[in-house]
Amino acid sequence: NKMRGLIGNALFSKKTLLTSLKRPLFLPARAPIFLRSHSQRGISFLARGDQRKKLNLKEGDTLEGFRVISATNVPDRNLTAYLLQHDTTKAQHLHLDTSDTNNVFSVIFKTVPTDSTGVAHILEHISLCGSKRYPVRDPFFLMLKRSLNTYMNAWTYPDATAYPFSTQNAQDFNNLLGIYLDTTFFPLLREQDFRQEGYRLEPFNLEDPSSSLTLKGVVYNEMKGVYADSANVFAQQLQAALYPTSTYQHSSGGDPVSIPTLSYANLVDFHKAHYHPSNARFFSYGDLPLEGHLKFINERVLQHFSPKPFNGLITHEKRYTSPQRLMSTGPPLAGCDDTKQFKVAVGYLTNPISDSATTFDMNVAANLLLNGANAPMYQALIDSNIGLDYTSNSGYHPDFFESSFVVGLNGISQEDVERVENTIYEVLEKTSSEGFPQRRIESLLHQLELGYKHISADFGINLLSAVIHPWLHGASPTEALQTQKFIGEYQSRPQDARERLRRVLREQLVENRHRVTLQTQGTPAYAEQESGKEDQLLRQLVSGLTQQDRTRIVEDALNLRAAQEEPSNTDCLPTLSLEDISPNAPVWPVEIDHISAGSGRGAKSTPTSETDQPEYGECMWFPQPTNGVNYLHSKLYFSPTQVPLEILPFVPLLCAALTNVGVEGKDHRELAQEIESLTGGISLSPSLVADPHRPGNYSLSINLRSHALESRTADMFRLVSEILRSSTLDGQEDRLRTLILQALDSLNGDLMYRGHSFALQRASAVLPKIAESDPNPSPSLVAEVWGGIYQIQLLQSLVETEDLGPLVSLLKSLRECLIDTSKGRFSVTFDNKPDNRKSLEEGLQKLQGISGRSPRDVLLDQLKSHRNELLGEDEGPQLPTAKKQYIAVPGSVHYVAESVRTGLPYVSEGSPHLQLLSKILSSGQMHKIIREKGGAYGAGIQQGSWGFGFYSYRDPALFETLQSFAKIVQDFSPDSMSAEEIKEAKLSVFSEIDSPVSICDRGVARFELGLTDEMRQKRRDLLLKAQAKELADAAQLMKNADLPRSVCVVGPVLPEG
């Protein structure tokens, strides 16, 4: 339940594959150091990474006004944690000293709202809108393009607000540190910014001051989008019931009905009360010297403050003496018919998160209860097919002062509500009595070991996220980094571990009387009710206005508009130069050879030029310091003409089925147990990759990915081979229905969360092909049927189909058609040790010779026949064709998209120039017109080989935004581009290009995307050398009215007419 503020996620975590093991357990290892050779202006030479001067502080030492409270070596993380306290203000600072060059900083405040006006969330937005030292509008957004940051954001939690950033550049770190400190401790908090970011009354048509008044505001519209999602509303309702007397009963993001009751004075008071060093925590991570951080913080902030008591203490919730049961309504569940509009969940208030041992036990117990085919709750609720999937808030939540556990089911009928609730109780009672099988506990410990060894590119941000809540609520932050000790206890005393889990289930859940059951019905009337409340509030706000008030509102609106149109004077803001960008693209060593059945390794080859094409049987070997983990990635290719267009939409379901239905001699539960015990997972997914040379061309494949400890390499290949050779689809109708329901629930959740992506994909799907004579469907159409609105419609049709026997037959024929390792390529990322290399080569041989045996023309006839039997001839979802589409979903805001086809492939000279221009327009006029003036939460331009597309996100407007798309481009004058704007666009682009890459992904560009080092370097050169002339050419292309274009909007049901 975290609001990733200005450019982040929604208030509540979006629907994903449920993982109740939270941050403290699955933190991967840090990425090894990759030192860049470019300059870092303004910073005297610093030894970086492993060559840095390591800290050597001990408890009681003092440094820059801070005293060391503790110094803790964390060897399994390869870091030392120093906890310090400022002598005067008592502010604490946690520094994690490590060789990682991707340095992280955050300032964190405990923020305790007493209502649902969204004061903490709106303050998070406004504090970054200008400060004493940087009195410019929106220094946060301006710094996004003046920096080489690898992460910049702000997070609003229900009880905290954090402002994190990360960067690999030392000068950039100091630049951003200055911005973040000044905007949080010394913000201007202008009332004008409050009206823009929070809410305001404004004439509907500012050109006509007499037009009716309406409510606008970035946060206001953002939260209208959040509250249109049934998952978010349900989670907030249950949270309020579990925490009825504390700050957690309120919506920290803001309820749209309550936001307009917040006064500007209350916001200013909230800042005074909460944004003080005595209520702050500072966090830093990386290889840069701690002394410099502390000196900077002390001089810029702490020396200007005296100690101050903080009154926002969060105490233990008053516990219920008997379980509670509530009924409510919410937005309709997308993709469910009227009889399946119910959801029910049981929530428990559990242990304080300062109790680290119980928190760990609950994390483990929740994972074993809920996750995977062998979890007892999964077997009882998900395998029964009485609902779609778990509710999105299911799992263990160690995020508040006191944690909670929730389990529930989506998309059920009213008559099944009681059955679901009783099943939950029965499973908890039985599991707490019998305990978990020892093998499942060992499998989970194996997953934890892999999680520790897996090397992540954003490790510092993950650690920050892990320590925030324990630290704020009284636990030692360093203890949250040392979960290895609990894992060791489980491994050394397995019987004690089983008993610990039985005990924690009984004490925290079965015998816990602070229990809430929430039953919610999704109904269209909910949106009408909420809209009625908003209309009533608007009438109340307007009814008491005098003519003088109305005049002031119009004047304020005009003044805000004038301020929004005024160019920003960025002279006061720090920046980097183009010299800070490395001229050279990172190069990962690779060896290429070929594998053929029975012949072992083929001749070595080395990529020599951008014209090299992938070859079947090719294997790329990427030697990397993988910390004892081997990563396998394979692509099984098939031609677009190999599978009819009407069959292509079934490929994602085939991929899901093959790893989830069992294999010869093992049912799906036995297979799942082996995968969990021996590997880090095995996944299959459809892949579409644009040809980097030829516009409109693309490759299709089924991608297989897995990883395992070196000692389990042979087991990984054996399981992969079994899945590809002998997955058992016969008799799996019920299992397929489960997978369909889960996929539908996940995609519907994604649609509500990122509707702009679905709208842009749908719009692109109807654009004409580059070459009309091309017999293949366009790549955008394939992407739409695989993962867009078409795929949602197909899954809905399958849910409504009683007999899935024809689907089994279809998937069997499709497997025969597509699973062919003789048309595969392989990639291995590994520690280059002789014995390890040999075991990998032996494993790859086991994957050879897997293919179907039926003639292709027979398979095609079978596929079409099975499809018609399943859905009916010429029945089922229809392919999109209209150039203007409107997709109605529950809610009150829009996701607007316009797609334009250009056909500039990766290697073309125009593509990088269009990328730069897209950045200029996205951060310039689109941000100003659609976000600041229009009130949308976000807007931008997405550019790719297919073309480019405009989008807006959680947008109150529709027609105005569509008009703005065209106007922004047509009004853009290349002559108005300054050298500074071009430089900022380049910094913004390279901030993304040069972000750290996880070890397992360092071969992705070469293997998956077909981009050689030479191709990436050429594009890099074009980006760095681009000047106004090249961008003017890109602008002319963007303005070309003859380019094919289409529009799609995902939004609320429109009134007739």
* Pairing mode of beta strands 324-330, 515-522: parallel
List pLDDT tens digits, range 796-847.
999 999 999 999 999 999 999 999 999 999 999 999 998 999 999 999 999 9
pLDDT of residue 7: 34
Q: Whole-angstrom Cα distance, residue 478 to residue 482?
A: 7
pLDDT single digits (tens) 588-645: 999 999 986 544 455 444 433 333 455 799 999 999 999 999 999 999 999 888 899 9
- Give per-residue pLDDT as tens, 307-321: 998 877 888 999 999
Quote helix, strand, coil % in the chain, to nearest 5: 45, 20, 35
In 736-893, beta strands by DSSP E: 824-830, 884-888
Cα(931)–Cα(207) distance, rounded to whole angstroms?
19
Give per-residue pLDDT as tens, 240-281: 999 999 999 999 999 999 999 999 999 999 999 999 999 999
The pLDDT score that the predictor gives to residue 38 is 37
Residue 840, exposed/middle/buried by CB under 10 A (0-12, 13-18, 19+)?
buried
Q: Could you tell me which residues come within 8 angstroms of residue 427 by beta carbon, excluding any fewer than 6 positions away?
A: 369, 376, 377, 380
Q: Residue 446: pLDDT above 60?
A: yes
On the 0-12 / 13-18 / 19+ scale of CB atoms within 10 A, 378 is: buried
Q: What percentage of the chain has pLDDT greater than the value 70? A: 94
Residue 762 near residue 887, CB atoms below 8 Å: yes
Q: What is the mean pLDDT of the chain?
A: 90
At CA 51, angle to CA 49 and CA 54, rounded to 5?
85
Its sign, for the CA torsion 439, 445, 447, 450, is negative
- Secondary structure class of 180 (helix, strand, coil): helix
> DSSP secondary-structure letter at 1001?
G
124 counts as catalytic: yes
Instruction: Specify the DSSP class assigned to residue 131.
Output: B
Cα-trace Rg, the chain: 28
Amino acid at 414: Q
User: What does the pLDDT look like over 675-704, one tens digit per residue?
Assistant: 999 999 999 999 999 999 999 999 999 999
Q: Is the pLDDT of residue 853 over 90?
A: no
pLDDT at residue 115 in the model: 97
pLDDT given for residue 774 in this prediction: 87
pLDDT confidence tier of residue 1, bands split at 50, 70 and 90: very low
937-951 residues labelled b (16+ CB within 10 A) or e (exposed): bbbbbbbbbbbbbbb
Cα angle value 544/545/549 (rounded, 5°): 155
Q: Give me the mean pLDDT over the 572-593 stretch.
A: 95
Q: What b/e sequence results for 240-257 when a residue is b if at least 16 CB atoms lie within 10 Å of its CB, and e otherwise?
A: bbbbeebbbbbbbbbbbb
Would residue 327 be called left, alpha or beta, if left means φ above 0 and alpha means ψ between -120 and 50 degrees?
Answer: beta
Give dist(CA 343, CA 387) in Å, integer.
8
Which helix (H) or strand (E) segment holds residue 622: the answer is strand 618-623
Q: Is the pLDDT of residue 527 over 80?
A: yes
With a cut of 70, say whether residue 3 has pLDDT above it: no
Question: Is pLDDT at 43 greater than 60 in this prediction?
Answer: no
DSSP-derived secondary structure for 940-997: EEEEETTEEEEEEEEES-SHHHHHHHHHHHHH--GGG--HHHHHHHHHHHHHHHTS--
- Nearest by Cα to 118 from 257, 314, 213, 231: 257
314: nearest Cα among 91, 113, 515, 89: 113
Q: How many CB atoms lie within 10 A of CB 144?
A: 20
Least confident interval from 291-300, 593-602, 849-858, 978-987: 593-602
Instruction: Annotate 870-933 with DSSP letters as a single string.
Output: HH-TT-SPPPP--SEEEEE-SSS-EEEEEEEE----TTSSHHHHHHHHHHHHIIIIIIIIIIII
Which residue, among 961, 968, 926, has the nearest Cα to 1048 in the 3D structure? Answer: 961
**Crossing angle of helices 733-753 and 651-658, rounded to 10°:** 120
Rounded Cα gap, residues 791 and 501, in angstroms: 40
C-alpha torsion angle, residues 803, 808, 809, 813 (rounded to 10): 150
Pick the closest to residue 51 from 290, 252, 287 (CA basis): 287
Active site residue 197: yes
C-beta atoms surrounding 36 within 10 Å: 17
CA distance linking residue 152 with residue 164, whole number of Å: 6
Q: Which one of 124, 421, 534, 674 is the catalytic residue?
A: 124
Task: State residue 860's pLDDT score.
Answer: 86
Angle separating helix axes 356-370 and 417-434, nearest 10 degrees: 120
Q: Which of 354, 368, 672 is nearest to 498 (CA)?
A: 368
Tens of pLDDT, residues 466-486:
999 999 998 889 988 888 889
HSE, CB side, 13 Å, CA atoms: give it for residue 324: 19
Question: d(Cα 578, Cα 836) in Å, to the nearest integer?
Answer: 42
The pLDDT score that the predictor gives to residue 1057 is: 52
Active-site option among 59, 64, 191, 197: 197
Total residue length of the chain: 1057
Name all contacts of 538-541 with Cβ < 8 Å and 24+ positions apart. Answer: 538/213, 538/214, 538/215, 538/260, 541/201, 541/213, 541/215, 541/260
> For the segment 386-401, what is each residue's pLDDT rounded down to a tens digit?
999 999 999 999 999 9
58: which residues sit within 8 A by CB, 6+ positions away?
68, 71
Supply the pLDDT for residue 16: 26
Q: What are the pLDDT digits (tens) for 484-511?
A: 889 999 999 999 999 999 999 999 999 9
Q: What is the pLDDT of residues 57-77, one digit of tens each?
A: 999 999 999 999 999 999 888
Q: Do residues 634 and 847 touch, judged by C-beta distance below 8 A? A: yes
- Dihedral (CA of 838, 839, 844, 849) sign: positive
Q: How far is CA 1030 from CA 136, 944, 1027, 1043, in A?
A: 30, 18, 6, 19
Residue 267 identity (one-letter amino acid): L
C-alpha torsion angle, residues 278, 280, 284, 290 (rounded to 10): -20
Q: Whole-angstrom Cα distance, residue 1007 to residue 703?
A: 11
Q: What local confidence, expressed as pLDDT, does residue 154 receive?
A: 96
Contact call for residues 938 and 952 (beta carbons, < 8 A): yes
Tell me the C-alpha distance between 181 and 762, whole Å: 42
